[in-house]
C-alpha cells in the first residue's frame, strides 16, 4: 500500500498524501562515531510518522538533521520536491518545520501566551520600521496572529494558564505549551522529540489525544520520536525503527511489530 505515489488510506480511513519530506542515504558522524548510518525514509503529507529505537539509536540525531540543528556529512534531504541545501535551524523553521525538544526549550521568563506568540514570528512580515511605529499593518498583523495563538491555546486546553510565567508550570504542562508554540507556526511538518518522556500515565494519555487531535483537526504532518513502544504503535501510521544508527525496520506498526530484527533489538538477542 505505501508504494502508491500519491498516498494511501489508513486503517481508520484517513487519506494520506504524497511524500513531503524524504531523507536519502543520510550519514551523520561526530568525530569518529557514526550516529546515523546511511538511512533513508520518507514522510508523507498528513501522516503520523514515528521514529523509534532503544536509547542511543540515533533517533534524536535524526530529528536534529531534519530540523537543521545537525548537518549530515552524507546524504540529501528533500523537502516539498526539492533538494534542501545546507541551512541554519532558523531557516528550516522559516520553511515551515516546527519542533519540540526532549528537554523542553521554552522561554521560561515569558508567559504562556508570549511563548505561543513567538511561534507566530515566522508569520509576521511587517518591517521593523512599521513594527516600531505600531500602526496600520503591524497592528493588524498582531491582531491576526493573536487570534491564531488564542485558537491554539483553546485547542490544547491551556486557557487557564495563558498569563502564567512558564517557569511556574508543571513538567506536563510545559510539554503542552511547547507543543502549542510549535503548533502556532502552522507548520508543514511538526517534529516532536519524545513528547511523552517523563510523563505519568494520565499525562501520556492527554498528550496522545492531543497529537491525534492535532493531526485530525489541522491535518498536520507529524514526525515523532518515542521509545515507549505501546504509545507509538497506537499513534502512528508508519514507523521507522533505528538501532545503533542503522535502520532495521520501516512500515506499519503491525509490520514492524512482527519484524524479527526489531524484536531482537528490543528484547535482546542470544549471540552464540
Partner 1 sequence: MPEQLAFTIEVFLNGLMAGVLYALVALGFVLIYKASGIFNYAQGVMALFAALTLAGIVDGQVPFSHLINAIFGTDVHHFGWNVPAFVAILLTMVVMIGLAYAVQRLVFRHLVGQEPIILFMATIGLAYFLEGVGDLMWGSDIKSIDVGLPQGLNMWIDETTFNALGYGFFIDNLDIVASIIAALLVVGLVLFAQYTKQGRAMRAVADDHQAALSVGVSLNFIWILVWSLAGFVALVAGIMWGTKSGVQFSLSLIALKALPVLMLGGFTSIPGAIVGGLIIGVGEKLFEFLIGAPFLGGATENWFAYMLALIFLVFRPQGLFGEKIIERV
Residues in contact with partner 1 by the rule CB under 8 A: 67, 69, 88-91, 93-94, 98-99, 101, 105-110, 114, 117-119, 121-122, 124, 126, 128, 131-132, 134, 138, 142, 181-182, 185
Question: Which CB atom, from 125 or from 217, has the smaller least distance to partner 1?
Answer: 125
Closest residue by Cα to residue 27 from 43, 38, 13, 19: 38
Nearest-approach distance from CB 179 to partner 1, in angstroms: 12
| Residue 98 C-beta: closest distance to partner 1, Å | 7
In the complex with partner 1, the residue whose CB is nearer, 192 or 262, is 192
Nearest approach, Cβ of residue 119 and partner 1 (Å): 6
Grid coordinates of 118? 513567538
Which CB atom, from 39 or from 117, has the smaller least distance to partner 1?
117
DSSP strand pairing (238-243 vs 246-251): antiparallel
DSSP state of 145: H
* Cα 17 off chain centre by: 18
Strand order in the sheet with 33-44: 33-44, 19-30, 74-79, 82-83
CA pair distance 191, 76, nearest whole angstrom: 18
Q: Is 190 exposed, middle or buried (0-12, 13-18, 19+ CB in 10 A)?
A: buried
- Cβ of residue 125: shortest distance to partner 1, in angstroms? 9
**C-beta closer to partner 1: residue 8 or 69:** 69
Task: Give the count of alpha carbons within 13 A of 44, CB side only.
Answer: 22
| Minimum distance from residue 145 beta carbon to partner 1 (Å) | 9
Least separation in angstroms between residue 178's CB and partner 1 is 8
Whether the Cβ atoms of residue 35 and residue 27 lie closer than 8 Å to each other:
no
Between residues 174 and 238, which has the closer beta carbon with respect to partner 1? Answer: 174
Would you say 88 or 151 has its CB closer to partner 1? 88
Amino acid at each position: 500500500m505505501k508504494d502508491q505515489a500519491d498516498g494511501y488510506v489508513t486503517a481508520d480511513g484517513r487519506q494520506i498524501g504524497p511524500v513531503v519530506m524524504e531523507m536519502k542515504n543520510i550519514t551523520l558522524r561526530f568525530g569518529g562515531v557514526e550516529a546515523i548510518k546511511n538511512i533513508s525514509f520518507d514522510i508523507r503529507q498528513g501522516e503520523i510518522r514515528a521514529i523509534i529505537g532503544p536509547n542511543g539509536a540515533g533517533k534524536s540525531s535524526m530529528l536534529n538533521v531534519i530540523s537543521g540543528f545537525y548537518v549530515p556529512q552524507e546524504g540529501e534531504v528533500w523537502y516539498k520536491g526539492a533538494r534542501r541545501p545546507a541551512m541554519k535551524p532558523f531557516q528550516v523553521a522559516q520553511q515551515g518545520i516546527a519542533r519540540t525538544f526532549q528537554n523542553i526549550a521554552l522561554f521560561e521568563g515569558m508567559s504562556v501566551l508570549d511563548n505561543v506568540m513567538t511561534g507566530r514570528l515566522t508569520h509576521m512580515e511587517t518591517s521593523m520600521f512599521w513594527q516600531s511605529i505600531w500602526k496600520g499593518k503591524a497592528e493588524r498583523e498582531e491582531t491576526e496572529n493573536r487570534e491564531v495563538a488564542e485558537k491554539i491555546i483553546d485547542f490544547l486546553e491551556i486557557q487557564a494558564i495563558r498569563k502564567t510565567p512558564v517557569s511556574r508550570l508543571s513538567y506536563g504542562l510545559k510539554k503542552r505549551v511547547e507543543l502549542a508554540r510549535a503548533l502556532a507556526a502552522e507548520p508543514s511538518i511538526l517534529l516532536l522529540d519524545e513528547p511523552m518522556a517523563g510523563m505519568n500515565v494520565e499525562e501520556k494519555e492527554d498528550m496522545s489525544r492531543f497529537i491525534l487531535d492535532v493531526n485530525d483537526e489541522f491535518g498536520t504532518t507529524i514526525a515523532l520520536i518515542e521509545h515507549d513502544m505501546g504509545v507509538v504503535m497506537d499513534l502512528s501510521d508508519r514507523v521507522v525503527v533505528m538501532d545503533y544508527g542503522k535502520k532495521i525496520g520501516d512500515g506499519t506498526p503491525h509490520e514492524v511489530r512482527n519484524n524479527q530484527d526489531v524484536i531482537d533489538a528490543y528484547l535482546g538477542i542470544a549471540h552464540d
